[in-house]
Structure 1
Amino acid sequence: MHNLLDSLPATLPLIQSGTQTWSRPALQQRIAQLRMALLARRAPRAPVAILADNCPDWLAIDLCTQELGITLVPLPLFFTPGQWMHVIAESGVQSIFCAQPQQAGALGFPDAVACEGELRLCEGPLRAHLPLPDDVQKITFTSGTTSTPKGVCLSTGQQWEVARALHDGLCRLGVERHLCLLPFAVLLENIAGPYTAMLSGATTICPPLAETGLLGASQFDPQVCLDAIARYQANSIILLPQMLQALVAVAAPDEPRIRSLKFVAVGGAKTPARLIRTARAKGFPVYEGYGLSECSSVVALNLPGAEREGSVGRPLAHRQLRIAADGEIEVGGARARYLGQAATSGAWLGTGDLGHLDADGFLFIDGRKKDILITGFGRNVSPEWPEAALLGTGRIAQAVVVGDGQASLGALIVPLSAQLGREQIQAAVDQANADLPDYARVLRWMPVPPMSSADGLVTANGRPRRPAIHLHFQQQIASLFTPAEQTT
C-alpha cells in the first residue's frame, strides 16, 4: 500500500466527499493517526469493525488495517441490530469505528479510544474469540440468506488482485473520477470502486449515500442520483440492476446529466438484456458483470470492445471458468474461506449458479441451483426466512415468498382462517416485516387457495415445491409486480 500511495502525485485529489478533498499527503497523515489509535487499543491486533456511511475516513481505515495486518469487519448499515451482534460475536471484534459513540456503546463498545476524525474508535471489555489466520484482512458478510449472515475471509492480496485485473481492463478508458453509489460495506463497490480508482490515479468521490440517492437497502431516488453524477462530473459508477432500471425510467433521451460517464458497471443480480439496450439508447455506457464474495467480488465483466449481449462478459485475466456436468459455474484459482472453516482445497470453486460459456468464452447465467432469491438491489434472501416470519404471526397458514430480480419481495398467502379479512392479513404481514431488515420484507401479497401434497404443490411434510408453485400461480405472481394490479 505504501508503494502505491508513494507513486501517486502529491497534488492529486485522491478522495473527495461533499465537504472534503484529500490529496496523497492528507490521506497518509490520516492513516498515520489511525495507526496510532489502533495500536493503542487494549487488544492492538484484534479485529475491528466499521459501521458507517460512505466517507473518506472509511477508506483511510480500510487502508490502515491493511498496512497493519489487522482484520477489518464492515457492518452493513442495512443489517438489523441483531445481525450486527451476530457478526461481532462470530468475528471476534474487539472495537468499532462509527460516527456515533452511543451506537458503539449499544453494541458493547462503550469506551472511547483517542482518535479524532469523522469516525470515532470505541472498544469494550476483552472478549474471548477464535484466532483468525494471519492473512485475513477483511471479513465480508453477505446480506444474509437467513437471519445469520455468513462471513467470507479475504486477504489483502486477493482484493487487490481483482482491482488490478479491473484496472488492466479499463485503463484505456481514461477514467479520472469515480463516483461511489453503493455502500463501501458492499465488496463490489469497495474493490471495484476505490481500489481500482487508486490504481488508475483517479479520484474517488464518496459523499454520504443519501446525497447520491440511495437510502437503506432498497430505496433509491434516481433524480437525486442523476443530479449527483452531473454535479461531480463522474466518469464511472457501479449500479445494481434495480438502480439502473430506475435511472433509465426517468432519464431523458441523450440525458445531459450523464454525458461525463465513460463506464457504468452493473452487477449483483441478473440484468435483463432489454434493460441494457434501453439504457444505452439513452446514453448510459453500461456493461454487465458477474461475481461473488468468495472470489473477492468480480469474476467476469463485459468491456468496451469485448462484450456480448445477454452475457456477463469474459472472466477477468486472473480467473478461469468452467461448467460442471450439472451446469454449475465453477471458478478456478479461487481460494475461498468461510469464517470458522478451513479454506477450500479444491482447484475449482462451485458457485451455486448455473450457466454456460459460448465459443468465445463469454459467460451466460442460466439460473441458480438453490432457491435463493436475489432482489433487484442485489440482496440475497432465502425465502424460508420471511416465510417463517409470516407463519409465526399465527394468522397465516401457508406462505410462499417470491420476487427474484424485483425491487422488493411479494408473497402468496393462505390465511389461517377464511374469516380473516384483508386488513387482518395486512396486519400480520406488517408484524412479520417488523422483525426483518428492509431487503427481506414482503411489500406485496396475494391470497391464494390452500396448497396440498395432493395437487403437487407441497411435499408430504408441507415444504413448498417451488417450481410447481411458480408454474401453477404464474399469472398471480406476475400480477404482484405489475403496478396497476399490486395488491398493497
Structure 2
Amino acid sequence: MSGIADTHSSLLQSLQATAESCPGRAALLGDCEGFTYAELLQEVTTIATAMRNRNLDVVGLFANNGPRWLLVDLACQLAGVTLVPLPGFFSAQQLQHTISASGLQGLLTDMPGYFADVPVFGKGEALAGMTLLLCKQVQPATLPAETAKITFTSGSTGTPRGVCLSNETQFATAEALAVSLAPLRCATHMCLLPLATLLENVAGAYTCWLLAGTLLVPGLERLGFSGSSQLDMQRLCACIDEHQPDSLILLPQILKSLLEQVDNFGWQPPPTLRFVAVGGGKVAADLLREATKRGLPVYEGYGLSECGSVVALNLPGAVREGAAGKALPHCEIALRDGEIVVRGPHYLGYLGVTEDPGERSDGWLATGDLGSRDSDGFLHITGRKKNILISSYGRNISPEWIESELLRAQDVLQCVVVGDARPYCSALLLPRPGTDVRQIEDWIGTVNRALPDYACIRRWAVLPQPLTFADGLLTANGRPRRDCIAERYARVIEDLYVGEPQKISPSTPAPSPADNRRSGEQNPGVA
C-alpha cells in the first residue's frame, strides 16, 4: 500500500486510515466475494500496478454492479487513469459514440461477448477479474487537466454528453455528505442504482466509505433489474430484506413502486433503514409524506453531474415538505432571474467542448433548473428553464409541477404535460395495464381541483407504448425528452386541441389502452 499515501485522492487516503485502524472491518460485499478494508486496498494496489504496466491512460468500464466495478474505480484513481463508466442501458450507437469521443485505450468488462462484433476492439486479456479489450486504433481525446472520470449524461438529445470530473470534486461532494450524515451512524449502504450512475457512485459508495461503513453491492439481476427500464419489485424488496441496509438511494419511480409493494402486497421496510435519499427528478410532497408514514425514512435532494452530484439535501431535523433541502457545506446556492446557480467544486468541462456557456466569470454555474428559496434557506425546484410552457394566454407553466402531481397515482406509470403556445394544458399518459380509464379521469379531476385554472389538464391521450431510453424518448435518469416526444406524437397532441374542451368528469367517455392498440391510433381521451 506504499503508493496510497502519495496519491492525490483523499478518498484513498481515508480508506487507508480506516484500514490501519480497523483492518478486518468489511468494506465491500458482493454476491460472491467480499473485502475487508485491508484486503480492498491490497487488491486496488495490484490492479493499479497492472494498469501502469500497460501504460493505460483512459479506460472504459462496462460491468454489472459488484465489488469488481468499484475496485477498478479506485485503482484508476491510484494509477492516475481516467475512468469512463459506460451505462448498461446505452444503445450500441451511444456506446460507439462514447468509446470514440473519450479516446479509450481499452475497455474492462465482465461481458466481453457483448463487444464481440465491435471492430475497434482486439483480443482480450485478463485484468482485475474482468476482460480488458484493447482498442486497435486509438484516437486520443483532448481532456481537461486533472480529468479523473468522464460521466456521460444524456443531455437533451440522444447523443450522450461527457462531463469531465476531477477526483477532488467527487471527493468534496462525498465528504460534504459524510459530514451531514455522520450523526445517523449508518453502518451499511446498499447500492441499488447502477454504479455507472454518478449519484450512486459518489453519494452512495464514496460517502459510505468516508463513514467507515460497509458497502453492499448485489448484482443488478439480484436487485430485479433487466433491460433498460424493467424492474421486478418483488425481487428488489426481497434483496432489501436479505441485506437489511441502513441507507439507500432511490429514483422517484422506484420510491413510488416500493409504496405499491407496501400497500398492495404487504411489504414492510426493514427496521434498519435510517436514511433513504430520493433524487433524479421532482417528487410530489404527498408521495414523500405517504412514504414516511409507511416506514420509509425518505429525504429529497437535488444535484447535477456538473457539480459532482448532490448539492442540496433534506436531513433529519432539517426537513421541509416540497423542498429539495438546504445547500450542503461544500457549495453555495443562489437564484438569478429564477434560475438556480451553484458555486463550489464543479466539473472541468464537457468532453470535446472548448467553451462552456454554463459557467459564469464569477464562478457561479447556471444549472438550467428553475426554483425558489424560502426564508429558512430550503431550495424548492419548480422545473427546467427550457421546459417552461407559455400558454397562448401568456401564463408560464412548469410541466414538472403538474406531472409530479399526476404521477402520485399508482395507476399512472408515465406522464408528459404539453401546452406550449396552446390555450390549455393537456397530458400524454401511460396507465397501468388493466386500469379502467374512468379511474384516470377521476384522478385527473382530483388533481385539477388543487391546481389553478390555467394549469388544469383539459384533455389527455393514452400513450400507445411506454416511453423508453432506447427509443430516445427518455433521458438516462428517466426524464422525458420533450422535443422528441412532441415530434413523435405530433398528431396525437394536435388532436388534443381540436374543438372546445370540457371539464373532465368521471362520466366523460374516453378511449382505453386496448382500443388504441387495436386501432393503431392514439385518439385523445376528450373531456
* Correspondences of 1:93-172 after superposition (within 5 Å): 93-107=104-118, 108-115=120-127, 117=129, 119-172=130-183
Matched residue of 1:7: which SS?
A: helix
| Mean Cα deviation higher: 313-322 or 337-346 | 337-346
Matched residue of 1:370: which SS?
A: helix
Which of these residues, 9, 17, 30, is aligned with residue 17 of structure 1?
A: 30
| Aligned counterpart, 1:396 | none
Q: Any conservation in 1 of the 2:58–2:105 contact (CA below 8 Å)? A: yes
Instruction: Give the drift of 1:435.
Output: 5.5
Query: Per the alignment, do residues 446 and 131 of structure 1 end up closer, same or farther by CA in structure 2, a change over 3 Å counting?
Result: closer
| Aligned counterpart, 1:232 | 243
Query: Per the alignment, do residues 32 and 275 of structure 1 end up closer, same or farther by CA in structure 2, a change over 3 Å counting?
Result: same
What is the distance in 2 between the residues matched to 1:83 and 1:101? 17
* Correspondences of 1:183-222 after superposition (within 5 Å): 183-222=194-233
| Aligned counterpart, 1:391 | none
Query: Per the alignment, do residues 482 and 140 of structure 1 end up closer, same or farther by CA in structure 2, a change over 3 Å counting?
Result: farther
What is the distance in 1 between the residues matched to 2:257 and 2:141? 44
Query: Per the alignment, do residues 148 and 333 of structure 1 end up closer, same or farther by CA in structure 2, a change over 3 Å counting?
Result: same
Q: Any conservation in 2 of the 1:213–1:220 contact (CA below 8 Å)? A: yes
> Are 2:335 and 1:323 aligned?
yes
What is the distance in 2 between the residues matched to 1:333 and 1:318? 6
Q: Any conservation in 2 of the 1:52–1:58 contact (CA below 8 Å)? A: yes
Query: What do residues 391-449 of structure 1 show as CA deviations (whole Å, max 9, x unaligned)?
Result: xxxxxxxxx997699999xxxxxxxxxxxxxxxx97xx79x99755886798x979748
Which of these residues, 366, 369, 384, is aligned with residue 368 of structure 1?
A: 384
| Aligned counterpart, 2:293 | 281
| Mean Cα deviation higher: 144-153 or 236-245 | 144-153
Query: Per the alignment, do residues 184 and 116 of structure 1 end up closer, same or farther by CA in structure 2, a change over 3 Å counting?
Result: closer
Instruction: Give the drift of 1:94.
Output: 1.2
Q: Any conservation in 2 of the 1:313–1:362 contact (CA below 8 Å)? A: yes
Structure 1: runs of 5 or more not aligned: 384-399, 409-424, 458-468
What is the distance in 1 between the residues matched to 2:315 and 2:323? 11
| Aligned counterpart, 1:73 | 84
Matched residue of 1:260: which SS?
A: coil
Which residue identity does 1:229 align to in structure 2? I
Which residue identity does 1:338 align to in structure 2? Y
| Aligned counterpart, 1:37 | 50
What is the distance in 2 between the residues matched to 1:299 and 1:434? 29
| Aligned counterpart, 2:14 | 4
What is the distance in 2 between the residues matched to 1:433 and 1:318? 33
What is the distance in 2 between the residues matched to 1:242 and 1:63? 30
Q: Any conservation in 1 of the 2:246–2:273 contact (CA below 8 Å)? A: yes
Q: Any conservation in 1 of the 2:342–2:366 contact (CA below 8 Å)? A: yes
RMSD (Å), alpha carbons: 3.8
What is the distance in 1 between the residues matched to 2:493 and 2:301? 40
Query: What do residues 3-42 of structure 1 show as CA deviations (whole Å, max 9, x unaligned)?
Result: 222211110110011221111232123213322332233x
Q: TM-score, normalised by structure 1?
A: 0.78
Instruction: Give the drift of 1:99.
Output: 0.7
| Aligned counterpart, 1:272 | 284
Matched residue of 2:143: which SS?
A: coil
Q: Any conservation in 2 of the 1:10–1:24 contact (CA below 8 Å)? A: yes
What is the distance in 1 between the residues matched to 2:303 and 2:512? 31
Query: Per the alignment, do residues 189 and 116 of structure 1 end up closer, same or farther by CA in structure 2, a change over 3 Å counting?
Result: closer
Instruction: Give the drift of 1:103.
Output: 2.6
Q: Any conservation in 2 of the 1:111–1:122 contact (CA below 8 Å)? A: yes
Instruction: Give the drift of 1:255.
Output: 5.0
Query: Per the alignment, do residues 202 and 335 of structure 1 end up closer, same or farther by CA in structure 2, a change over 3 Å counting?
Result: closer
| Mean Cα deviation higher: 286-295 or 130-139 | 130-139
| Aligned counterpart, 2:310 | 298
Q: Any conservation in 2 of the 1:270–1:405 contact (CA below 8 Å)? A: no
Which residue identity does 2:195 align to in structure 1? F
User: Aligned pair count?
Assistant: 427
What is the distance in 2 between the residues matched to 1:82 and 1:255? 40
Q: Any conservation in 1 of the 2:107–2:133 contact (CA below 8 Å)? A: yes
Query: What do residues 336-355 of structure 1 show as CA deviations (whole Å, max 9, x unaligned)?
Result: 31112346453111111110
Instruction: Give the drift of 1:106.
Output: 3.2
Which of these residues, 72, 75, 81, is aligned with residue 64 of structure 1?
A: 75
| Mean Cα deviation higher: 89-98 or 130-139 | 130-139
* Correspondences of 1:341-360 after superposition (within 5 Å): 341-342=353-354, 344=359, 346=361, 347-360=363-376
Matched residue of 2:350: which SS?
A: coil
Query: Per the alignment, do residues 403 and 55 of structure 1 end up closer, same or farther by CA in structure 2, a change over 3 Å counting?
Result: farther
What is the distance in 1 between the residues matched to 2:299 and 2:430? 18
Which residue identity does 2:380 align to in structure 1? F
What is the distance in 2 between the residues matched to 1:171 and 1:308? 20
